[in-house]
Amino acid sequence: MAESVVIADDWDVLVDALAREGVRYLTGGANWEDLGDSPLPSPSVEHWDPESLLRGLAASRHARLRDAIIALLLLHPEYSGNAQMLLANGDLAASSHVVLQSRLIAAACLQRLWWFTLRIYLPDQPLISADVVTGAGLPSPDLEYGRPCLTALAERLEAAGTFPYNYHAEFARVVDLLLADLIAEANHAA
């Protein structure tokens, strides 16, 4: 297994790493001015291994970067195994653990909720395992397209938070932004 590199909590570095993985709805990045019409970062942007990227996103002080874990997992459901491994290792800070676990569960729910549409733009994607909720005390993502699980997760996060925050709306916003990018890419390619 490759050694995991910790990505600093730097907006530009994480946005570039996400763009390299296909998550392009966030603006910024080290080469933002140089992109022009290209949807990809410069070839000089490093490719980070999934564990390092997930670890960096989970530890980020930026809510949009933390929530981008959902988009990353929807584009790359195979990274859910990396996320589960990070959660099982026990070496994440408590706050990063909560962020990664909740975004992994949200991605599993949202993938089921948006399965039909996602399959149009991302055919042959594997389904994120419903086992991601094991031990979390949440309903299975397989129930009613993930809606009960997503609602329970959002309510749990909102109850634990210091400030009022609508997690359910934020999770839906991530899917809206990701789908808009997938549609734009499909139209651009046509």
In DSSP notation, the chain reads: -PPP-PPPS-HHHHHHHHHHTT---S---TTGGG-TT-SS--TTSPPPPHHHHHHHHHH-S-HHHHHHHHHHHHH-GGGHHHHHHHHHHT-S-HHHHHHHHHHHHHHHHHHHHTHHHHHHHSTTPPPPPGGGGTTTT---TTGGGGHHHHHHHHHHHHHH-SS---HHHHHHHHHHHHHHHHHHHHHHH-
Residue with tokens 């994440």: 92
Would you state the pLDDT for residue 76? Answer: 97
Domain ranges of the chain: 50-189
Look at 43-57, 89-103, 163-177 and tell me which has the smallest mean pLDDT.
43-57
Q: Residues near 3 by Cβ (< 8 Å), separated by ≥ 6?
A: none
Average pLDDT over residues 46-72: 92
Average pLDDT of the residues in 10-38: 77
30 band by pLDDT with thresholds 50, 70 and 90: low
Query: Is pLDDT of 190 > 90?
Result: no
pLDDT at 161: 83
Mean pLDDT value across residues 112-138: 95
